[in-house]
């Protein structure tokens, strides 16, 4: 279960301006404007915008490559950052067919460090959230030679920096393919499905630590580091797959639930010259190895966490026959988030991200790991580290102006006054070239569609890449109610970030029903000044039906510093639900709100929240929809759950006291429960157990199960069906 970026403090007591650009303002639309219908959203997809995807910086930072597709097939083309002009086609699918002897569809690629070879992927088949298998080949640009790496689909193909070999995973083992000779050798031989996995993480690592490739080449191409996962003691989870066959099949995988055994994970080094393997993590104590990274000096760095995830250690291994050295340690009274926001510099020092000051900031750590000083300061959060250039300037994203905003900044490693590189309010994000000399800026706000532009490293704009004019023009055909941002003072005294979308043709003399949307999970944020957002167009459809939509970020979410975010530690669902109920109590006193018609809905963590709110706030909420909810944290995976709750053995009372199942007998309102049977993340078991609790309490409720659909509940007409169902339920019950 993933969470959003953490954010900074709100402007105390300040009602933000109503973001209502002309194309979103109901009173300034053309006479022919019409309301948004479900068919527009989920059938004809009328609101699709354009992005700039697939640009990959070349090593010098002055050029980039991109796959261009046409009816004639795909081709890889080189472009100049500054002018956007083509520098030539590197190869086409026709070139691949000529070299290979048969067709090879180009889906993904990566250039070697010397940019003379390209690893190509085709026939990509998804495994879990990030992982996949593919047919893989190597194309050498100079001699136009194509070499198939394996006759079977493989995982995690990684080209050595010198472009000579490919390390990859097949059937839980790591193999080494020599491009020149076409020979393959095995690095590991002990891989067994659902027992031993080499070079590819288990399900829970992939989901909660957000990586799917667990093998790494050293910069000098002499070593391959990899993780080995021993899943022997992890319990097996199975899901029925109904499909179209006479008999259902089963998907079976290892899934460690809260309090259960994890994989035993170890870090290994393979030497190409000696063919020896050394277990690097043999003599240290840890539960998790969530990150591995080679330093510019060919040392291996890696992070370890304890089971509670509140003690983090950065190790360095230089002599791979010796026990790695502790380089740096950090601890927290609650938990430590794992991110990719850390970089080793050429002198061995480190740029590091931490919320130790009460807000998330960047720090410089000396080469010996003994000295530390802040690079950024203030009562706001740094939300992403982009990189460091050759002049030791640090590029990052932060919410320095307001918790709902994002800006791009640069500051010297030595600290000082940062320079803002993005000029517009709203949400700004950057994609930098390898040398940090150029960046592509994506900007949007609640009232303006995405605008994508190319900039120099000083922030000056070179040219516009995409302004989404077609989407802007299309929006003029519809009438919209603007999204308004404000700070809500809840009945319990909490000051909470919020937004609202009022009913179309709002009449201040009338009273309206309110539908609240909630996610509410640790570090997440829904109150963001960006275009669209979760189900924005559905809310516009509901606004045309007379519904008032409100979203409130409760305690535990990002946006107000470490204390606000981590105050829910060991009691997930307590303070968050209190805040949502208190927010609804405040909303109930708004003059134009019908206090008897307040509903709430959410998905995943939000489904957990909406179910809890209806059951524990039975006198406040009339209706709730819970999609793919966790219904007791005992059923969810241990890395996510224990980070915030510790184990059920240690904290079982809070697991159960904040579970919707515990309050099934308190149901008074209207409840729709939705889940997909193929959800490998939040298992349908959660909804089945809540359904059983409601049945045994003799409480009526609606239940919709989507066969073989995963956590996203999509595919074909599924989304149209789901939102038609939810809309009809609200029309009948709120």
Instruction: Tell me the catalytic residues.
Output: 604, 679, 711
CB 17 within 8 A of CB 445: no
DSSP category for residue 310 = -
CB 672 within 8 A of CB 625: yes
Q: Which two tokens stand for residue 145?
A: 């030679």
Calculate the CA dihedral of residues 533, 539, 544, 545 and round it to 10 degrees.
Answer: 180
CA distances from 411 to 399, 417, 419, 423, 590 (A): 15, 7, 6, 16, 45
- If phi > 0 it is left, if psi is from -120 to 50 it is alpha, else beta; for residue 623 that is beta
Separation between Cα atoms, residue 706 and residue 687, nearest integer Å: 12
The residue assigned the tokens 């600290």 is 415
Q: Which two tokens stand for residue 248?
A: 């259902």
3-state secondary structure of 386: strand
CB 225 within 8 A of CB 292: yes
Angle between helices 575-587 and 605-616 (to 10 degrees): 60
CA distances from 3 to 36, 500, 505, 728 (A): 29, 22, 35, 30
Other C-beta atoms within 10 Å of 510: how many? 12
Angle between helices 718-733 and 536-544 (to 10 degrees): 40
Q: Which two tokens stand for residue 70?
A: 């046409």
Q: In the 3-class helix/strand/coil scheme, how is 97-165 assigned residue by residue?
A: HHHHCCCCCCCEEEECCCCCEEEEEEEEEECCCCCEEEEEEEEECCCCEEEECCCCCEEEEEECCCCCE
Q: Which two tokens stand for residue 680?
A: 């490998």
């Amino acid at each position: 279960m993933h969470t959003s970026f953490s954010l900074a403090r709100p402007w105390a007591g300040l009602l933000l301006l109503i973001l209502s650009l002309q194309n979103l303002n109901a009173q300034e639309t053309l006479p022919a404007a019409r309301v948004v219908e479900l068919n527009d959203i989920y059938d004809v997809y009328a609101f699709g915008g354009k992005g700039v995807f697939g640009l990959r910086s070349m090593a010098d930072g002055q050029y980039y490559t991109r796959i261009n597709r046409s009816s004639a097939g795909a081709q890889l083309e080189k472009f100049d950052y500054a002018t956007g002009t083509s520098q030539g086609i590197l190869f086409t699918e026709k070139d691949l067919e000529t070299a290979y002897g048969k067709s090879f569809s180009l889906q993904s690629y990566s250039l070697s460090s010397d940019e003379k070879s390209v690893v190509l992927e085709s026939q990509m088949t998804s495994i879990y959230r990030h992982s996949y298998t593919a047919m893989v080949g190597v194309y050498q640009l100079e001699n136009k030679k194509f070499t198939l790496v394996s006759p079977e689909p493989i995982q995690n193909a990684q080209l050595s920096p010198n472009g000579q070999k490919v390390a990859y995973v097949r059937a839980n083992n790591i193999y080494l393919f020599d491009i020149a000779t076409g020979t393959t050798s095995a690095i590991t031989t002990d891989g067994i499905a659902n027992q031993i996995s080499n070079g590819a993480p288990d399900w829970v690592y992939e989901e909660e630590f957000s990586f799917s490739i667990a093998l790494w080449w050293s910069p000098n191409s002499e070593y391959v580091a990899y993780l080995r996962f021993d899943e022997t003691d992890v319990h097996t989870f199975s899901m029925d797959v109904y499909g179209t066959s006479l008999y259902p099949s089963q998907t079976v995988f290892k899934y460690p639930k809260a309090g259960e055994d994890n994989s035993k994970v170890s870090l290994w080094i393979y030497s190409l010259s000696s063919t020896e393997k050394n277990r690097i993590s043999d003599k240290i104590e840890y539960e998790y190895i969530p990150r591995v990274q080679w330093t510019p000096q060919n040392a291996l760095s890696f992070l370890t966490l304890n089971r509670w995830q509140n003690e983090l250690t950065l190790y360095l291994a230089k002599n791979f026959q010796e026990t790695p050295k502790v380089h740096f340690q950090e601890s927290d009274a609650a938990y430590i988030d794992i991110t990719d926001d850390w970089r080793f510099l050429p002198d061995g020092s480190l740029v590091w991200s931490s919320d130790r000051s009460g807000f998330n900031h960047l720090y410089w750590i000396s080469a010996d790991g003994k000295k530390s000083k802040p690079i950024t300061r203030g009562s706001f959060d740094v939300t992403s580290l982009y990189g460091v250039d050759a002049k030791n300037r640090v590029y990052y994203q932060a919410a320095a102006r307001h918790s709902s905003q994002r800006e791009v900044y640069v500051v010297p490693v030595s600290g000082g006054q940062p320079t803002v590189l993005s000029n517009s309010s709203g949400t700004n994000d950057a994609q930098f070239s390898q040398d940090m000399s150029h960046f592509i800026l994506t900007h949007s706000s609640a009232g303006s569609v995405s605008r994508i532009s190319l900039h120099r490293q000083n922030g000056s704009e070179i040219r516009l890449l995409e302004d989404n004019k077609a989407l802007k023009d299309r929006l003029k055909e519809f009438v919209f109610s603007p999204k308004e941002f404000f700070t809500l003072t809840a009945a319990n005294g909490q000051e909470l970030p919020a937004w609202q979308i009022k009913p179309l043709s709002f009449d201040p003399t009338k009273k309206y029903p309110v539908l609240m949307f909630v996610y509410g999970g640790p570090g997440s944020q829904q109150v963001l000044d960006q275009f669209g957002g979760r189900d924005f167009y559905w809310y516009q459809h509901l606004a045309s039906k007379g519904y008032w939509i409100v979203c409130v970020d409760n305690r535990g979410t990002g946006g107000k510093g470490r204390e606000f975010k981590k105050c829910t530690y060991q009691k997930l669902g307590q303070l968050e639900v209190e805040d949502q109920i208190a927010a609804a109590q405040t909303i109930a006193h708004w003059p134009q709100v019908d206090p008897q018609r307040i509903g709430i809905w959410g998905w995943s963590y939000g489904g957990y929240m909406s179910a809890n709110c209806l059951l524990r706030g039975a006198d406040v909420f009339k209706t709730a929809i819970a999609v793919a909810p966790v219904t007791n944290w005992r059923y969810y995976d241990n890395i996510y759950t224990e980070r915030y709750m510790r184990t059920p053995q240690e904290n079982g009372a809070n697991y159960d006291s904040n579970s919707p199942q515990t309050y099934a007998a308190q149901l008074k309102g209207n409840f729709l429960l939705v889940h997909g049977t193929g959800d490998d993340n939040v298992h349908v078991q959660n909804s089945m157990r809540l359904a059983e609790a409601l049945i045994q309490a003799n409480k009526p409720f609606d239940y919709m199960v989507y066969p073989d659909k995963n956590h996203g509940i999509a595919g074909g007409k599924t989304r149209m069906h789901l939102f038609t169902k939810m809309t009809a339920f609200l029309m009948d019950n709120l």
